[in-house]
Amino acid sequence: EGVKGVVSKPIRGAERNGFEGFAKGIGKGLLGLLVKPVIGTTDFLTDTLIGVKGAVESTDSASYLNVHNQIRPRRALYGRDRIIRPYRIDDASAATIQARSCLGGEEYYAHVDMVKKVALMSVNRLLILSEDGKEVLRLHF
């Protein structure tokens, strides 16, 4: 809202509670004018630092297997046509791992979670990774 709130809050307050609401609305509008830019700046800095932290942590060889530091991995889009299906956390996690592996940039197709390995299939390749993130097998088809 920012500057808009300086005008809209007093008007809304006056409509609801007359002069008293108008006075409160001026206070709320001015407070919002001061506070909202600070909140926006801190959100920007927080998001930037989260990105930096992720970049620093991704230098570890197996770090791309760790997708649990995200609140929710982004939705997997399937195949060449990038089909949207109902959200599944296991597919989203596998697609995130694939994007961080040598298959990054290829369309996610499917995955198989094996006991100590995971098989990731893109439209063009199959990749099997061990639990520590090392490549066990890569096939191109």
Chain segment 59-118, per-residue pLDDT in tens: 554 555 555 566 777 788 787 777 888 888 888 888 888 887 777 778 888 888 888 888
Burial of 105 (C-beta count, 10 Å sphere; 0-12/13-18/19+): exposed
The mean of the pLDDT values for the chain is 80
Percent of the chain with pLDDT over 90: 6
What are the angstrom distances between the C-alpha of 122 and each of 25, 26, 78, 109, 118? 56, 57, 9, 5, 13
pLDDT at 41 over 80: yes
Nearest 5°: the CA angle 31, 32, 33 is: 90
Interatomic CA distance for residues 16 and 7, integer angstroms: 15
pLDDT at 137 over 80: yes
